Copies of this chain bind each other. A is one copy, B any other.
Amino acid sequence: MTDSNPSNTRDAEYLAKLQDYYADWKSIPSYASLCDVFGIASKSWVKAILDRLEKAGFVERTPDGMWIPTSSFFARHVADASVPAGMPVMVGSSHGDYHVIDDMLIDTPSKTTLIPVKGDSMIGAGIHDGDLAVVEKRNLANVGDIVVAIVDGDFTLKTLGKEGGKFVLRPENPDYPVIHPQGTLEIFGILVGLVRKYK
């Protein structure tokens, strides 16, 4: 992150075009096609650009010589809120950092699942119908955690509470009742992240 910015002035915008292309096609095309993508006419210059992007750590090559993106290729800039409007398309600017959302939210991929939220029983916690819950599977949770429990063979997202020595599932919406599970409470996992997509 410190020094991974391209040396040449326009490389940032070439990188941006490449990132947009990759978002569409999930591959880096031939030099000839990259000429169109970059808006230039010379294959040799395309190679020069990619060589610099490689040195900057945004792309690398397979043993076959194929170009592939690195993890920093996918990183998004997190704006420093105090930064005024300016901030054009600059890569590797001095402050603010870069993050891949998946990496942020998911620690252990093998134990993490995505579950769509239905209903508004947790609206008090800012969890809306249609949101995507990022859930880490485990069967132990603390009071106060938002957990995914299995009730009547269905997933339900509630805050884990305790009443009179027994665990309860508390919705974050006064219109819904607190669930007092009979017998053992089966916990599927705990909420570690939330994702919402607009429009």
A interface list, Cβ under 8 A from B: 16-17, 19-20, 22-23, 25-30, 33, 62, 64, 66, 68-69, 74, 76-79, 81-82, 84-86, 88-93, 96, 98-110, 112-116, 118, 123, 126-128, 131-132, 134-135, 146, 150, 153-155, 186, 188, 191-199
Contact = CB atoms under 8 A, between A and B. Distances in A.
Looking at chain A's contact residues, the main secondary structure is mixed
A199 B194 contact: no
B188 A198 contact: no
Contact of A30 (B64, B102, B197): B64
A35 to B, nearest CB: 12
Contacts of A103: 23, 98
Nearest to A148: B88
B198 A195 contact: no
Shortest 3 CB-CB distances between A and B: which pairs? A92-B109, A16-B110, A88-B113
A167 B139 CA distance: 50
A146 B114 contact: no
A74 B110 CA distance: 10
Indicate how many identical chains form the complex: 2
Given A62-B27, A99-B100, A79 B155 contact: yes
A101 to B, nearest CB: 5
Nearest to A13: B110
Given A27-B68, A78-B132, A106 B92 contact: yes
Given A25-B62, A104-B195, A154-B81, A115 B88 contact: yes
Contacts of A195: 101, 104-105, 193-196
Contacts of A197: 104-105, 192-193
A10 to B, nearest CB: 13
